[in-house]
Amino acid sequence: MNYANLGRSNLKVSRICLGTMHFGVYTSKENAFAIMDKCLELGINFFDTANVYGRENRGRTEEIIGEWFALGEGRREAVVLATKVYGTMSTRPPVNEQAGISSYKIRRHLADSLRRLQTDHIDLYQVHHVDRTISLEEFWGTFERFINQGDILYVGSSNFPGWGLVKFQMAAFERGQVGLISEQTMYNLLCRYPELELLPAAKDMGIGVIPYMPLAGGLLAGKRTVAKGSRTAQVEDEYGFTIGENQMFEAFSKLCADLGEKEHIVATAWTLHNEAVTSAIVGVRTLKHLENIERAVELRLEPQVIAKLDEIFDINKGRPLRIKPAPEAYAW
């Protein structure tokens, strides 16, 4: 496994990050324990979760991770632990517990996450979505306080726009703070919007990008048929693609076959290829999903392969970013 500094911090994380969203929903506690143990065996030291994970039983994912930490044998010390705050934890939230962030809410939600995770600190505490209404003073004043108390070590963002990264990062710099060290965003061969503004902004601001859904919910995993009601079927609707009816997927599979690599390895390696990306989040439901995942870190895609992938997944209709960066990519 290879490691890289997360953003401008000196924190080193594995280039594959374990996504735990399925724990307690599609993955039993016992299987989750086996997956986390296997990750440590593979050298994956970066685990990502969120307080809202668990679907109807929000918080259950954090509880499972906490119960695994409680087994001891250095588990907690071996993991760079990331969780998130923003959403409501109640089906009928009072006004100050609704979606968004405030000093009032973060204090309560952070305490609950620490309890569920059975730890005394969060290594990377992430704001799950941008809150356009919070003042810069309240935002950084709150996080600085919890950093000073030792409850959190670093702050990250998730689903922020490029302008949001710059706005909050510049405010942190003015306060003499490290600021955001990471940004989670959806980024894969079918969702390349981050290339236009987000990835350049993150790179310039010293923010490491940790993309989620590098396989686009399974669309880039080499499947030929999709079961009704499956997560991949849902993603087909979200993306507007049908695997069996789109030549992109056939061309992608052929390219992977020519390379002698599996589709999920090439798709993940492509995500890691962007120099703004630090670690790719792999959402694992079973141990099988971890098979050979280290190959995605090792694989180096040659320029001609990148060019072919750009041709297959041409979201910019003939004006690829490899020729001109944003904003020239969409300007006349």
Count of CB atoms situated within 10 Å of the CB of 136: 14
In angstroms, rounded to a whole number, what is the distance separating the alpha carbons of residues 299 and 142? Answer: 41
In angstroms, rounded to a whole number, what is the distance separating the alpha carbons of residues 18 and 59? Answer: 17
CA distances from residue 281 to 119, 146, 162, 239, 240 in whole angstroms, order as listed:
22, 26, 20, 19, 23
* CA 41 and chain centroid, separation: 21
Q: Please, what's the b/e burial string for 195-233 (b: 16 or more CB within 10 A of its CB; e: otherwise)?
A: bbbbbbbbbebbbbbbbbbbbbbbbbbbbeebeeeeebb
On whether the CB atoms of residues 79 and 118 are closer than 8 A, the answer is: no
Of 175, 167, 103, residue with least CA distance to 132: 167
The dihedrals phi and psi of 163, each to the nearest 5 degrees, come to -65, -30
In angstroms, rounded to a whole number, what is the distance separating the alpha carbons of residues 179 and 91? Answer: 32
The dihedrals phi and psi of 180, each to the nearest 5 degrees, come to -70, 135
DSSP category for residue 23:
B
Instruction: Tell me the catalytic residues.
Output: 53
DSSP assignment of 94-133 = -GGGSSS--HHHHHHHHHHHHHHHT-S-EEEEEESS--TT
